[in-house]
A and B are shown apart, each in its own frame.
Chain A
């Protein structure tokens, strides 16, 4: 696929980002071409291809064991594909990148560092000011000096999000980041993520088994089944209208039968 196609795509399917108008260079395109991966005898996928346009938000849903976490770890450079190619910004992934950040289900904060040191874990010039800025962005500007242990689960996950946001990542990869949170906190986190993504404009890949969560947040939904893409469908409903949209009701029903 050429560059023009990569950039033309999101304009058609993401009307919601028009209001935010993210910087054109804020996100990177991700391409997975005929990737194969097996752990010993267990084949995770044999021929998987998926493309994410710069700035696009793709949700990947599927049952446990369908290979969605492996897919994410391959994009992040934590696993290597046995065959095929994985590219970020049209360059093959050959390990960890500083502009691609991950959010896990567990916040993975260092309990012996205060919140601000956790957010600025990568250090570098001006890390303290940058970390404080990211904390303000996730609404925790006043908790910089606290130990992670005194925060609630949702707050810890927001600290982890702030840590990922420092130095403006070009892609944010999320592996069930809200899976361990209660329903109310999860809804708050959804709002936060929508706002943050508008401000930062990164490319986002969200792994989830919650179809409704995928339909609330993403521009496009991909269903993985038996290591292959079973459904790949743009959502095409403005974020504000998603609670009431009949199209979404219909799409949710369809996806649930496909998973």
Chain B
């Protein structure tokens, strides 16, 4: 920030970090003095060392990239499908009649429960993981897109018709922007489910990715690498969340309640 911070502002910024920092300090002290066994919980410095070693030999980057790639493809395929279904069902009542109850039924099947089936279909191939992620993100995006479109103010749509907007222009300028806050909520849900699904899928059946790296380390009792994998997941999740917040910030600049929320978030 360009402005010099007041003492109050520094305190405000530092306070949320106080507990985590204290925790790490006590954890390190506990591990070094032998109160905490290294097999249960290696010291933070050991995790940092594992991070450094894995970074140096390229394993960390390799696994992270592969995980991110799976997450990305799954999100694009499942999210894209959910979005298109939401738009079609939001626009055409007949499409909604045709597909919505089936989709609601499928939605109620926990997508992780179909892992055995997915393994039978795809083996432990890349497509198995991508398929699972896609199924996981499809429903939150579908539901929120559909709901968002249904909730758009009828008065605005009528106004658009009165002013002679074509159906396409009506969609692009009135309906989709009106549904966008809800669609972005769906995206944030979807991102959470995306990482969760990926962790499970990679731990069960994979030869690469963070989940595999973690499971592999467990076999060799490398608790530090297991912890490292968990931290990487946390960071990736946080990164995805930050990306959506940034997107919301850009796309919903007009939204008065969002403006207020953004101020509160920055404070």
Contacts and interface: CB of A to CB of B under 8 A. Distances in A.
A121 B160 contact: yes
Contacts of A149: 254-256, 259
A194 interface: no
Contacts of B165: 121-122
Interface string A126-141: 0000000000000000
B258 to A, nearest CB: 10
Nearest to A77: B162
Interface in B76-131: none
A101 B155 CA distance: 15
Given A78-B158, A106-B155, A111-B255, A122 B177 contact: no
A256 interface: no
B255 A102 contact: no
Classify the secondary structure of A's interface with B.
Answer: loop
Nearest to A111: B254
Interface in B163-212: 163-165, 169, 173-174, 177-178, 180
Interface in B249-265: 253-256, 259
A112 B177 CA distance: 7
A187 to B, nearest CB: 26
A36 interface: no
A106 B174 CA distance: 16
Interface in A94-147: 96, 98, 101-102, 104, 106, 108, 110-113, 121-123, 147
A215 interface: no
A121 B163 contact: yes
A76 interface: yes
Nearest to B169: A123
Contact of B155 (A76, A108, A147): A108
Given A110-B173, A149-B254, A149-B256, A98 B155 contact: no
B87 to A, nearest CB: 17
A42 B156 CA distance: 27
A104 B155 contact: yes
Contacts of A78: 158, 162
B254 A147 contact: yes
Interface in A4-51: none
B234 interface: no
Given A108-B156, A111-B254, A96 B162 contact: yes
A45 to B, nearest CB: 22
Contacts of A121: 159-160, 163, 165, 173
A110 B155 CA distance: 10
A113 B164 contact: no
Name which of B163, B174, B255 has the most chain A CB atoms within 10 A of its CB: B163
B13 interface: no
B218 interface: no
Interface in B229-267: 253-256, 259
Nearest to B156: A108
A148 B153 CA distance: 16
Contacts of A76: 162
B39 to A, nearest CB: 55
B62 interface: no
A98 B163 CA distance: 7
Contact of B162 (A102, A110, A148): A102
Given A106-B155, A147-B254, A113 B163 contact: no
30 contacts: A76-B162, A78-B158, A96-B161, A96-B162, A96-B164, A98-B164, A101-B162, A104-B155, A108-B155, A108-B156, A108-B158, A108-B159, A110-B156, A110-B173, A110-B177, A111-B254, A112-B178, A112-B180, A112-B254, A112-B255, A113-B254, A121-B159, A121-B160, A121-B165, A122-B163, A148-B254, A149-B254, A149-B255, A149-B256, A163-B163
Given A108-B158, A111-B254, 16 more contacts: A76-B162, A78-B158, A78-B162, A104-B155, A110-B156, A110-B174, A110-B177, A112-B177, A112-B178, A112-B254, A121-B165, A122-B163, A123-B169, A149-B254, A149-B259, A163-B163
Interface of A: 76, 78, 96, 98, 101-102, 104, 106, 108, 110-113, 121-123, 147-149, 163
A-B interface, 9 closest residue pairs, ranked by CB to CB distance from nearest: A149-B256, A112-B177, A108-B159, A112-B254, A122-B163, A121-B163, A108-B155, A147-B254, A111-B254
